[in-house]
């Protein structure tokens, strides 16, 4: 089968044997797989998949959509041919992938293959960060730092449907109108965005340089949820100010969670998020699609930045 392959810290097309599902796993004919922030980091030799996941560390890819070929779950939830999607620990950027069956979600009719391939990682991350960790509620003020990317566009939409007042920090001026179109009450330059606090929840997708201004703009009992650190992982935390706000700083990754935790998150998405996708209230904006054979160009486009929405690899 064709795959995206990491060789000598570079990404390119490759060929591999088709994987065989073990007990409890499903074999998926992948139609589309999203490119995410972790993928170029894995290519550079960092952030490998967890060893216990049993996926090769030289085939990247953390989300996919495709048809179920075979399920070896004790009580299969899907018939062969069913349209499914999932977050995976790795190796999604291939024509076939195996995955813990419990992590599969059904693809709503409203999503085509590219939209489905770009849904799981960013919506699971954004939902878990806002609801699971940030405890975002209707009427809260939410700041999304780095709102133009995949996770940011998911978070802006989820914040809006949850009834929050959503401020989006987007450094690229040309992209701000698109983020407001997705549901942000205002999309602004990073320094202007801080003027719209105090915030109950700050979703941090950029990193450590925002720590000082975010604590300053935090409301009483507010929470900063750190998900991305591409602009830096070490910064200054003003503990006195954090104390006076009764504030919380949380941080998390999805990739290293146990399959059971990922399965629970998939069930939460099925009940709370997929109905909103099915009725068109949540969208998966696509910036560009590339065939798997052009994976190098897809990664170059992703790392160039400046895009709104997802970059997809088509594996059909």
Ligand X SMILES: NC(=O)c1ccc[n+]([C@@H]2O[C@H](COP(=O)([O-])OP(=O)(O)OC[C@H]3O[C@@H](n4cnc5c(N)ncnc54)[C@H](OP(=O)(O)O)[C@@H]3O)[C@@H](O)[C@H]2O)c1
Q: Which residues bind ligand X (CB under 6 A)?
A: 36-38, 121-122, 125, 146, 148-152, 171-172, 205-206, 227-228, 230-231, 252-254, 305-307
Residue closer to ligand X by CB (options 18, 253) is: 253
How near is the Cβ of 54 to ligand X at its closest, in Å? 20
Residue closer to ligand X by CB (options 152, 247) is: 152
CB 1 within 8 A of CB 7: no
As given in the structure block, the two tokens for residue 247 are 């504030």
Residue closer to ligand X by CB (options 11, 151) is: 151
Residue closer to ligand X by CB (options 172, 293) is: 172
How near is the Cβ of 257 to ligand X at its closest, in Å? 9
How near is the Cβ of 256 to ligand X at its closest, in Å? 9
CB 266 within 8 A of CB 86: yes
How near is the Cβ of 80 to ligand X at its closest, in Å? 30
How near is the Cβ of 188 to ligand X at its closest, in Å? 12
Of the candidates 124, 123, 190, the one whose C-alpha atom is nearest the C-alpha of residue 153 is: 123
Residue closer to ligand X by CB (options 151, 218) is: 151
How near is the Cβ of 179 to ligand X at its closest, in Å? 9
Q: Which residue is nearest to ligand X (CB)?
A: 149
Residue closer to ligand X by CB (options 232, 275) is: 232
């Amino acid at each position: 089968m064709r795959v995206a392959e990491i060789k000598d810290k570079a990404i390119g097309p490759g060929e591999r044997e088709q994987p065989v599902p073990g007990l409890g796993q499903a074999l998926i004919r992948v139609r589309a797989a999203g490119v995410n922030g972790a993928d170029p980091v894995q290519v550079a030799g960092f952030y490998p998949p967890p060893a216990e996941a049993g996926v090769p560390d030289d085939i990247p890819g953390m989300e996919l959509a495709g048809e179920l070929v075979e399920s070896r779950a004790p009580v299969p939830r899907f018939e062969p041919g069913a349209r499914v999607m999932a977050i995976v620990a790795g190796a999604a950027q291939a024509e076939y992938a195996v995955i813990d069956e419990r992590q599969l979600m059904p693809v709503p009719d409203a999503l085509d293959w590219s939209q489905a391939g770009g849904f799981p990682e960013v919506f699971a991350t954004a939902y878990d960060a806002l609801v699971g960790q940030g405890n975002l509620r209707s009427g809260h003020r939410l700041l999304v730092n780095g709102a133009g990317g995949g996770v940011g566009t998911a978070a802006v939409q989820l914040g809006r449907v949850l009834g929050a007042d959503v401020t989006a920090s987007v450094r690229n001026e040309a992209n701000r109108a698109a983020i407001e179109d997705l549901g942000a009450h205002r999309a602004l330059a990073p320094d202007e965005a801080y003027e719209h606090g105090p915030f109950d929840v700050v979703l941090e997708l950029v990193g450590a340089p925002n720590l000082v201004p975010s604590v300053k703009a935090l409301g009483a009992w507010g929470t900063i949820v750190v998900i991305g650190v591409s602009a830096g992982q070490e910064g200054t935390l003003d503990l006195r100010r954090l104390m006076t706000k009764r504030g919380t700083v949380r941080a998390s990754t999805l990739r290293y969670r146990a399959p059971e935790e990922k399965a629970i998150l998939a069930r939460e998405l099925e009940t709370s998020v997929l109905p909103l996708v099915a009725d068109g209230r949540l969208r998966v904006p696509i910036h560009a699609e590339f065939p798997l054979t052009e994976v190098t160009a897809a990664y170059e486009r992703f790392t160039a930045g400046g895009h709104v929405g997802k970059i997809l690899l088509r594996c059909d």
